[in-house]
Amino acid sequence: MPKAEVYLIQSEAATKLATLVEASTRSSEEGTKYFLEPAPGVLSRAVNKRHHIIFGRRGSGKSSLLRKVVADLTVNRTPVGYVDLEEFKGHSYPDVLISVLIKTLKEFKIWLDTAAVNSANKKSFWGKFFGGKPKRGSLNKKIAKQLSDEIGAMLSELHTILTQADSRQFTQTEKSDSENENKMRAGASAKAYLSELNASVETSETDKKSIETKTEYIHRKIEILHQNIMRYKDLFKRISDISGGESYLLLDDLYHIRRSDQAEVVDYFHRIAKGSNLWLKVGTIRHRSRYYFLGDPPKGMKLGDDADEIDLDITLEKFDSTKKFLMQIIEGFASECKVEIDEILTDGGKERLILASGGVARDFLTIFRRAVDVVRERIDRNDLGRGGKIGAEDVNVAAGTLDDFKREDFNRDTDSNEDRDSLTKSFTKIVEFCTNDARANCFLIEKDHASYDTKAIPDLVDFKFLHRARSRVTIRNRKGRLYDAYMLDLSQYTGERARKNFTIVKFWGSDGDESLRKLSYVFSEKDGE
């Protein structure tokens, strides 16, 4: 009996590659050595002495960029603090601001206790996360210790303010005279009462009185924050001075905070930063964020005036550039594992991977990792019609499973049931149009045309259900009118959702514009929605 052929994708080297790729799909301090700029100059801009808001879809590399900034600044002994705002999801204002402030001060205290004063020869610290060692010696240890101790005292104050919230609110509720009868039996402490460990409550009290009590408390907390802002400005100025330069605060994933509170949080740190040589870098998803609003006074940071933007979204509009960037990433991993990527991935597989990812690096790597398993399973059942490499159909199967994870992100990141239902309704209409009417993966929207469904498109792009394909598309019998082309995410028409007689429009090819110029692809336009 002839010996079965063994393909490279079944080898230990390919297993190592798949494992490495899987580990890289989550941003981490250790992962900074794999960082690759999505465009020339992005990293240098991110360390400029200018406030920045960094935009990108989930998985586009926002956190990777910010962690790379942390690593490079730390090795240079430049004061830097990184705060992951996802930790504070669901926190209400002003407690969310106090919590972020506490985390910020902790990060700079850690920097003062370690990177500012550690010997350049301490490999256990510098080598693990930062991939190098500082070129200049330790900073003034006495001043660093004084600043660290000062931050420690501030942290104690802030923790007291934060924990007093429950206690003060409980006390007010206990003593209040409501319009209806209010009876309360409480245990020894407010904290125990709130945790339901040592208390029982019988109450029938009007909503009006309850709201008034809470509002009074919140105003006191905000006043304390405002009263201390000059102390924090002075602190950060002295932290910057110890290194002889500037300091940086990186606030990652702003969109996890309630949208109504985002500008308030950004505004507070922007006020601290003014005149203290502190520079803010805020990572977020563009259409899920409210980093500025025009009020009296305005709150947050206004693009163009207070801050510049860094856009990390690599889209399918620049297909060749996107392909080059994403292939550089996977080839870098393959080289480390001593694997020739062309030996496990066909040209058609590469092209389909780019499409399936929508230009998002993490999705590209996730689908590649799953496609390895798809091919291995195919080989095990002796389905060798497509050979032993990852091809377009293998990518289709792998991409089809990604929809569940995108919907989890969608449900988690939408602000309300109303917001979620509205976007779902619009997306369902687009999917039905593509699969039943156009019978193609692309659709057209007339430029500057506003309707109920077209207003949802920027959000659906941010959630990666849709992808930008081309701009300024023309149609023969729509003279003088321009359209934007979008591609429906591959997960909606592959895998279990595979469609027959369904056209995958090759908008990236040499005749890409021509392939899109069909009236049947128009989803919404001014004269007929």
Structure tokens at 79: 């004061």
DSSP class per residue in 372-404: HHHHHHHHHTT--TTTTSB-HHHHHHHHHTTHH
Q: Please tell me the predicted confidence (pLDDT) of residue 492.
A: 92
DSSP classification of residue 283:
E
Which phi and psi angles does 292 have, rounded to 5°? -155, 140
Confidence of residue 60 (pLDDT cuts 50, 70, 90): very high
CA–CA–CA angle 448, 450, 455 (5° rounding): 110
d(CA 294, CA 292): 7
Q: Please tell me the predicted confidence (pLDDT) of residue 140.
A: 96
Q: Please tell me the predicted confidence (pLDDT) of residue 219.
A: 73
Q: Please tell me the predicted confidence (pLDDT) of residue 304.
A: 96
What are the pLDDT digits (tens) for 197-233?
Answer: 333 334 444 444 555 555 556 678 899 999 999 999 9
Give the position of tokens 């109303």: 418
d(CA 129, CA 71): 7
What are the pLDDT digits (tens) for 269-281?
Answer: 999 999 999 999 9
Mean pLDDT (the chain, rounded): 87
d(CA 243, CA 110): 15
- Please list, in sequence order, all residues whose beta carbon lies within 8 angstroms of the beta carbon of residue 139, skipping any fewer than 6 positions away: 77, 116, 117, 242, 243
Q: Please tell me the predicted confidence (pLDDT) of residue 119.
A: 94
Q: Please tell me the predicted confidence (pLDDT) of residue 498.
A: 75
DSSP classification of residue 307:
B
d(CA 462, CA 465): 8
What are the pLDDT digits (tens) for 1-27?
Answer: 345 677 999 999 999 999 999 988 876
Q: Please tell me the predicted confidence (pLDDT) of residue 529.
A: 43
Domain ranges for the chain, please list them. 8-14+316-400, 39-311, 417-524
Over pLDDT 70: what percentage of the chain? 87
DSSP class per residue in 95-137: HHHHHHHHHHHHHHHHHHHTTTTS-TT-HHHHHHHHSS--SS-
